[in-house]
Amino acid sequence: MALLAAGRKNRRILVGIAGGPGSGKSTLAEQAIAILNDRVDGSAARVPMDGFHMKQTKLEREELVAFKGAPKTFEADAFVSLLEQLKFARQPVSVPAYSRRIEDVVPDAFSIDGNVPILIVEGNYLLLDTPPSDRIMPLLDLSFYVEVPPDVVRERLKQRHAAHGLFSEERNQRHIEQVDMVNYETVRASAPRADCWIEIETLR
């Protein structure tokens, strides 16, 4: 209720939920938004950093496909610009999203209305202290880090990568160990910068 009250005082509240790949950030964000909107309809919306993956064509052009998901494969400057715009916007703002069905970015996937007072921002790299991602955290009014054990993360990622059958099991396992878990450790190192921690111990 404190968030709702603060968000009604003519300024937007940006709440960050950070965590490594497979940590359940999106699920937590959706749950928080459902609770807030249940109390006051239209009070919260989600802003996913995933919409700022580099487009697949750019990854291929710059030979970064094998590192997809690493900090260097995100358009962090564009994400910061969006957050700066959303912080003070009083009109609808279009937001991109990432589709796991096609493994690529969908521009203008949805819009956020100008009168939504609380935005739940979720992504891997909200807490990094290296440029250009270091410009994200100062825009957040409150930040959470989601801590999940590595074995749980591996199992979640295995299920996620296999869900749409786009890649071989061998490719998925290699990507998990060589990219996802490396990114997991990068995000984990940024965790002390969060205001609060949320610990999850199981797959559910």
Are 118 and 3 spatial neighbours (Cβ–Cβ below 8 Å)? Answer: yes
Beta-carbon count within 10 A of 193 CB:
15
Q: Can you tell me the mean pLDDT for 11-17?
A: 94
Q: What is the pLDDT of residue 204?
A: 53
List Cα–Cα distances, 8 to 11, 94, 140, 141, 154, in angstroms. 7, 22, 16, 14, 40
CA torsion through residues 122, 126, 131, 134, sign: positive
- pLDDT of 161 over the 90 cut: no
pLDDT for residue 2 is more than 70:
no
Cβ–Cβ < 8 Å for 182, 130: no
30-62: pLDDT as tens digits: 999 999 999 999 999 999 999 999 999 999 999
Proportion of the chain above pLDDT 90, given as a percent: 79
pLDDT at 3: 59
In angstroms, the CA 87 to CA 12 distance is 6
pLDDT for residue 201: 72
Q: Is the pTM of this model over 0.95?
A: no
- Which residues pair with residue 15 across a beta bridge? 120, 142
For the chain, domains (ranges, CATH) are: 2-199 (3.40.50.300)
Q: How far apart are CA 190 and CA 112, in angstroms?
A: 28
What is the signed CA dihedral for 144, 56, 54, 19, rounded to 10 degrees? 10
The predicted structure's pLDDT at residue 169: 85
Per-residue pLDDT at 81 exceeds 70: yes
